[in-house]
Structure formats: C-alpha cells, structure tokens
C-alpha cells in the first residue's frame, strides 16, 4: 500500500511524501538487519572456529 500511496497519481501529496519516507525507513532497517546478521554470523563463526 505504501507503493500505491507513494507513487500513485491520485494521492494527497502529504500522504505520498509520508509513504515515500516510510519506504526509505523500511529499506534502511532491512539493510541494517542484513549487516547485523552478517556480523553476528561472522562472530559466531570465528567463536566456534567453523571457517577452517
């Protein structure tokens, strides 16, 4: 629904800007989650010496 509100032509400009901002926040949190998971996996891998 955020895509429809953000990029639809019949949407209130205020709601469109809000939807675009929310999409940016979601993207930021996804990237941070992937980075956190990668760091966590690397620390566990080195802790248990799984990468020989």
Q: Which pLDDT score, from 0 to 100, does residue 5 have?
A: 95
Q: Per-residue pLDDT tens for 2-29? A: 999 999 999 999 999 999 999 999 999 9
pLDDT (average), residues 18-47? 95
C-alpha 29/C-alpha 39 separation (Å) is 15
Q: Which pLDDT score, from 0 to 100, does residue 50 have?
A: 62
pLDDT band for position 30 (cuts 50, 70, 90): very high
CA nearest to 40, candidates 32, 30, 26: 32
Burial of 2 (0-12, 13-18, 19+ CB in 10 A): middle
C-alpha 1/C-alpha 6 separation (Å) is 8
C-alpha 2/C-alpha 23 separation (Å) is 7
Q: Which pLDDT score, from 0 to 100, does residue 48 have?
A: 85
Q: What is the pTM of this model?
A: 0.76
């Amino acid at each position: 629904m955020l895509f429809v509100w953000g990029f639809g032509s019949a949407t209130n400009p205020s709601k469109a800007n809000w939807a675009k901002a929310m999409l940016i926040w979601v993207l930021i949190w996804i990237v941070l989650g992937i980075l956190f998971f990668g760091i966590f996996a690397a620390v566990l891998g080195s802790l248990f010496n799984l990468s020989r």
